[in-house]
Amino acid sequence: MSVIVLLTQLLNGVQLGVLLFLLSAGLTLVFGIMNFINLSHGSLYMLGAYFGAAAYTATGSFLLAVVAATGGSLLLGLIVERVALARLYAREHLDQVLATFGLILIFNEVARVTWGPSSVYIDVPGTLVGAVDLLGLSYPRYRLFIIGVGVAVAVALYLLIHRTRLGMLIRAGASVPTMVGALGVNLARLNALVFALGAALAGLAGLLAAPLMSVQPGMGEPILIVALVVIVTGGIGSIRGAFYGALIVGIVDTVGRAFLPELLRLMLSPSLARAAGPALASMLIYLVMAGVLALRPQGLFPVKHG
């Protein structure tokens, strides 16, 4: 296994991590500030992908697709938050789980009715087609683009959180949720804003994933579980935690998948390694999370309280 392959696999891991970060950022804020478990966050990712795919197919412009995906899920997030979820902020977590589980079923059916049961595919935008040469190994240009977008969003979020009044309120809300209300801030509006921001990022993630993976009903749930792994590993309520958590999960998953079976083959018999390799590779992120939680229940980069 050469260094270049290792580097390329790391890049793959970063690309997955960046996608997970976009999805996790909103989830962790909603969780940290409103103490709300939103299982339907994955549905916003799915619908963002659908909105973007529809716009891209109709207009052929990827930029318009980005607008449609982020704008569409932002609006949808706002509506869902105001109509249903805002009523559940003060309720038990279990009621929130129940309601958002119901929402998942609804959104999946809406997608099925609107876009049909089979997958929708969109092409990589023209200028991003093809691969670039990275020291002898070719790497898809589009995946590099995803990394770029993700890092740009991370920087923008950092500036938003650390340099603006809104960011100050978000930080205050994440560390001392009760205090923000006392500051005379319109809590309902702050909640809606944070929720919508998270929804827009989820929609963007969905669109970015669309040319790589198919857009299909139910695509949000498996990745939601991984996003939950990310936010508890990183520390709930913390954007920084979500970022590092996402990178860790992305890299562990990719590198594990790539090298674990080979590693096992050095230690076990080939047939045993072939059976154990994929199983163990799939378990890896959960092993990491369980380890982190058992030793640091608050996650790796928790929000500082007080």
x/- mask, other proteins, residues 57-76, rule CB under 8 A, reads --------------------
Residue 297 binds other proteins (CB under 8 A): yes
- Give the Cα separation of 255 and 257 in Å (integer): 5
Q: Kindly identify the residues of this chain, within the stretch 119-178, that bind other proteins according to CB under 8 A.
A: 119, 121, 124, 129-131, 137-140, 142-143
x/- mask, other proteins, residues 221-260, rule CB under 8 A, reads xx--x--xx--x---x-----------------xx-xx--
Nearest distance, CB of residue 78 and other proteins, angstroms:
17
Candidate list 88, 205, 207, 242; residue touching other proteins; CB under 8 A: 88
- Give the Cα separation of 35 and 227 in Å (integer): 16
- Nearer residue to other proteins within complex by CB, 90 or 159: 90
Candidate list 38, 70, 73, 216; residue touching other proteins; CB under 8 A: 216
CB of 242 within 8 A of CB of 234?
Answer: yes
Question: With the CA atoms of 168, 169, 174 and 178 taken in that order, what torsion angle do they form, in degrees rounded to the nearest 10?
Answer: 140
**Residue carrying structure tokens 């369980």:** 290
Residue 104 binds other proteins (CB under 8 A): yes
What tokens appear for 58 in the block? Answer: 């109709």
- Nearer residue to other proteins within complex by CB, 182 or 295: 295
Residue 214 binds other proteins (CB under 8 A): yes
Nearest-5° angle of CA 36, CA 39, CA 43?
130
Q: Kindly identify the residues of this chain, within the stretch 186-205, that bind other proteins according to CB under 8 A.
A: none
- Nearer residue to other proteins within complex by CB, 116 or 164: 116
Packing angle of the helix pair 93-115, 220-234 (nearest 10 deg): 150
Nearest-5° angle of CA 153, CA 158, CA 164?
115
Considering only the stretches 3-11, 71-79, 159-167, 191-199, report the one whose residues sit in contact with other proteins under the rule CB under 8 A.
3-11
The b-or-e profile of 108-118 (16+ CB within 10 A means b, else e) is beebeeebeee
Residue 110 binds other proteins (CB under 8 A): yes
Residue 217 binds other proteins (CB under 8 A): yes
x/- mask, other proteins, residues 22-41, rule CB under 8 A, reads ---------x-----x----
Candidate list 57, 60, 63, 95; residue touching other proteins; CB under 8 A: 95
What tokens appear for 157 in the block? Answer: 């979020």
Nearest-5° angle of CA 57, CA 59, CA 63?
100
**Cβ neighbours for 50, distance < 8 A, ≥ 6 positions apart:** 111, 114, 115, 120, 206, 215
**Cβ neighbours for 3, distance < 8 A, ≥ 6 positions apart:** none
Residue 263 binds other proteins (CB under 8 A): no
Candidate list 3, 94, 182, 266; residue touching other proteins; CB under 8 A: 94
Residue 268 binds other proteins (CB under 8 A): no
- Nearer residue to other proteins within complex by CB, 162 or 274: 274
